[in-house]
A and B are shown apart, each in its own frame.
Chain A
Amino acid sequence: MIRLDARRTQRMLLVHGWFAVALGLLTYIVLVTGSVAILGREIATWSSAWTGEPRTTLGKGTDATLRTIAASTGSSHHESVEVYARASGRLWAFFSGDGTQPDQGVGVHFDADGTILARHEGTKVALRYGDEINALATFFKYLHIRLHAPDPWGKAITGTLGLALAAFAISGFLLHRDYLRDLFVIRRRDAKLRARELHTVAGSWLLPFALMSALTGAYMGLYSPVTLPVVAAVGFEGETAPYNASAFPPMLSESAEAATLTNLDAILAETERRAGRAVKYLEIRHWGRADAHVVAGVKQDARTMLEHYYHYAGVDGRLLQAMVGGFGTASSAGGTLENLYGMLHFGEFAEEASRYLWALLGIGTAYVSLTGMRLWTRRRLAQNRNWRHLHAATDWIGYGFPLAMAAVPIGHFAARALGQPLYAWMLGALLATLAFAAAPAWRAPDARRTLLAATGVVLLVLPLLRWTSGGASWAALASAERYVAPVIDGVMLLSGLALLRMPRRIVALTAACSPPDRAVGDGSAGRRT
């Protein structure tokens, strides 16, 4: 255990507190959105519920379907083909690249039987939100990744927030006098001291998770806006293209000669035999050429739990290389560590169980950051009234942002029913609800009661909106034995009811985190809850 002297402890307190003041609310947003984004598969399945068979892997019949799609796109989109199961359980193939517009392509949704469900044309970026089936999950994903701010700023901000979260976690650890004891001890009867101990105990348990998420998230956020350009500047005269050529070198010599692609079903079967798991990702480079290259990706290899890629020559189907991660032409320490970062950050090492656990731990970490912010502002507020604005902002974001996120599906379903652009309506719902939440945060004696009740009402309305805006009904889903959407509907209804009943209890429980008396001085003395 690291024991700091009084002066260093004071310095760590300042680090812990001032990071919270400067970046605490944004960090909280990234934590909440990350916890929701990790459930993207469930969100997409819920928002675009269908009676077809959901798939998470690629199997027999993929070859025939892809050849049919390839014939319809024309050879101008055969430079690169990516195939995988989207969040909604539909399969997705994106044919792209004609040399002049490499990002332009054709995206096709299809089911396990090879039936084409939807077809889109456009750039990858445009198809992110134009694709109705996954739009809601994609919205939350990019809210977490870049707060919907333009590149490169969005990722640079979230990457920096990753560093801030690391500072919270490490300074929190250094502030413990006895970390092991603090994992278990809640002994105070006094409500205020008890709230502080709850923050400490929850923070102690979540510290390893917070630190892991912070460091891996900072790597991912800063990669494209900062760290890759710096390395490219040092080693590749500032160009990222030659960096990529070195990091992902071709395994076959170039040849534009026409040649027939090998049977992809055979490659999928061979990969499944080698990895012990079904293929989740398939990439075909140079379809129809002699240098065609097929990459089959397995999310969690049965032996190592890491992502494995199997590279095949596209014409004769011979195995070129099997490796961990996507860097280089063979497994490497760097590629393996990079892969490990991804597995840990996304909680994808044990299928659904790890993702659900990660979502809960993320919510727990957000709770710790919110209670910490309230404790900090409460103490400052006792000394100086100017801190009331930060305290109100903490309530606004702390309770208003989850409300705004719950309102995003309202924008999605309304846009779907009215045939309006999905992204604009989802963003509009988020921002309008956030603006609405500001009023009680600054004016109500305790905004939490209003905002939690409003969140409860929104959750109660969502299942009905999903159904009435064109979603599959419970009866249709139950008869097809598709239970994910009805279960999520049920969880929302129960959570909505709980939130409507919760305010009195939660206010009593967290009263200790309240300011000494926000009402004092603003003409509402005595209204403290």
Chain B
Amino acid sequence: MKATGAERRRAQARVILAGPLVLLASFASLAGVFVFTPPGVAGVNHLVMPMLLQPIIWAALFFYASLDERLGRAYLVVLGIIGLSLAAAAAYR
């Protein structure tokens, strides 16, 4: 069965979300985790945790973006993470 034009566009939108946008969100989340993680008694947790969590955040967002039937909501979540992280980075500096 051939995909309709609307279905094709929806599939392309999902590929863009789960591909480049999720990768971007996982890198942007480095800033968010850096700003929001307490340094701890050794003063290093905020320096280490962003890098350690990035692959896990990417995996979680990738499968969320791939599986959520409500594509608009998935866009909102991923773009929200990017926006929140960038805002946190800007406020920190």
By a beta-carbon cutoff of 8 Å, the part of chain A in contact with chain B is 4, 7-8, 11-12, 15, 162-163, 166-167, 170-171, 174, 214-215, 218-219, 222-223, 226-228, 230-231, 234-235, 243, 246-247, 249, 323, 327-335, 337-338, 341
* Cα–Cα distance between A329 and B55 once the two chains are bound (Å): 26
**Could you count the A-B residue pairs with CB atoms below 8 Å apart for me: how many are there?**
115
Q: Are A330 and B42 in contact (CB under 8 A)?
A: yes
13 pairs, CB–CB < 8 Å, chain A vs chain B = A4-B67, A163-B55, A166-B59, A218-B54, A234-B34, A234-B93, A249-B43, A327-B42, A327-B48, A328-B44, A332-B48, A333-B49, A334-B47
Partner of B47, one of A162, A247, A337: A247
Most buried by A among B27, B42, B66: B42
* Cα–Cα distance between A448 and B92 once the two chains are bound (Å): 57
Q: Enumerate chain B residues within 8 angstroms of A247, measured Cβ to Cβ.
A: 44, 47-48
Q: A247-B44, A333-B40, A334-B49 are in contact. Are A11 and B34 (CB under 8 A)?
A: no
Q: Are B34 and A231 in contact (CB under 8 A)?
A: yes
Q: Are B42 and A219 in contact (CB under 8 A)?
A: no
A330: nearest chain-B partner, CB-CB? B42
Q: Enumerate chain B residues within 8 angstroms of A334, measured Cβ to Cβ.
A: 40, 42, 44-49, 52
Q: Enumerate chain A residues within 8 angstroms of B54, measured Cβ to Cβ.
A: 218-219, 222, 227
**B31: Cβ under 8 A from any A Cβ:** yes
* Cα–Cα distance between A432 and B30 once the two chains are bound (Å): 41
Can you list the 8 inter-chain pairs with the closest CB atoms, starting with the nearest? A334-B48, A328-B42, A332-B42, A328-B44, A218-B55, A334-B45, A330-B42, A227-B51
* Cα–Cα distance between A171 and B18 once the two chains are bound (Å): 13
Q: Enumerate chain A residues within 8 angstroms of B63, measured Cβ to Cβ.
A: 170-171, 174
* Cα–Cα distance between A230 and B57 once the two chains are bound (Å): 15
Q: A215-B56, A234-B34 are in contact. Are A15 and B27 (CB under 8 A)?
A: no
Q: Are B55 and A234 in contact (CB under 8 A)?
A: no
**B41: Cβ under 8 A from any A Cβ:** yes
**B62: Cβ under 8 A from any A Cβ:** yes
**B77: Cβ under 8 A from any A Cβ:** no
Name the prevailing secondary structure of the A interface residues: helix
* Cα–Cα distance between A129 and B87 once the two chains are bound (Å): 45
Q: Are A234 and B52 in contact (CB under 8 A)?
A: no
A321: nearest chain-B partner, CB-CB? B42
Q: Are A331 and B44 in contact (CB under 8 A)?
A: no
Q: Are B30 and A243 in contact (CB under 8 A)?
A: no
Min CB gap A75→B, angstroms: 32
* Cα–Cα distance between A215 and B56 once the two chains are bound (Å): 7
Q: Are B35 and A234 in contact (CB under 8 A)?
A: yes
Q: Enumerate chain A residues within 8 angstroms of B30, measured Cβ to Cβ.
A: 227, 230-231, 234
Partner of A15, one of B42, B43, B47, B66: B66
Partner of A228, one of B51, B62, B92: B51
Q: Enumerate chain A residues within 8 angstroms of B40, measured Cβ to Cβ.
A: 332-334
B35: nearest chain-A partner, CB-CB? A234
**B84: Cβ under 8 A from any A Cβ:** no
Q: A170-B63, A234-B35 are in contact. Are A331 and B51 (CB under 8 A)?
A: no
Min CB gap B86→A, angstroms: 10
Q: Enumerate chain B residues within 8 angstroms of A249, measured Cβ to Cβ.
A: 43
Q: Are A214 and B55 in contact (CB under 8 A)?
A: yes
Partner of A331, one of B42, B50, B59: B42
Q: Enumerate chain A residues within 8 angstroms of B48, measured Cβ to Cβ.
A: 247, 327, 332, 334-335, 337-338
**B79: Cβ under 8 A from any A Cβ:** no
Q: Are B92 and A234 in contact (CB under 8 A)?
A: yes
Q: Enumerate chain B residues within 8 angstroms of A231, measured Cβ to Cβ.
A: 30-31, 34, 47, 50-51
Q: Enumerate chain B residues within 8 angstroms of A218, measured Cβ to Cβ.
A: 54-55, 58
A227: nearest chain-B partner, CB-CB? B51
A329: nearest chain-B partner, CB-CB? B42
Q: Enumerate chain B residues within 8 angstroms of A228, measured Cβ to Cβ.
A: 51
Q: A227-B27, A231-B30, A334-B52 are in contact. Are A328 and B43 (CB under 8 A)?
A: yes
Partner of B52, one of A12, A214, A328, A338: A338
Q: Enumerate chain A residues within 8 angstroms of B93, measured Cβ to Cβ.
A: 234
Q: Are A332 and B45 in contact (CB under 8 A)?
A: yes
Min CB gap A228→B, angstroms: 7
Q: Are B42 and A337 in contact (CB under 8 A)?
A: no
Q: Enumerate chain B residues within 8 angstroms of A219, measured Cβ to Cβ.
A: 51-52, 54-55
Q: Enumerate chain B residues within 8 angstroms of A163, measured Cβ to Cβ.
A: 55, 58-59
B75-93 residues with Cβ-Cβ distance < 8 A to A are 89, 92-93
* Cα–Cα distance between A171 and B59 once the two chains are bound (Å): 10
Q: Are A333 and B45 in contact (CB under 8 A)?
A: yes
Partner of A332, one of B44, B59, B92: B44
Q: Enumerate chain A residues within 8 angstroms of B50, measured Cβ to Cβ.
A: 227, 230-231
Q: Are B67 and A8 in contact (CB under 8 A)?
A: yes
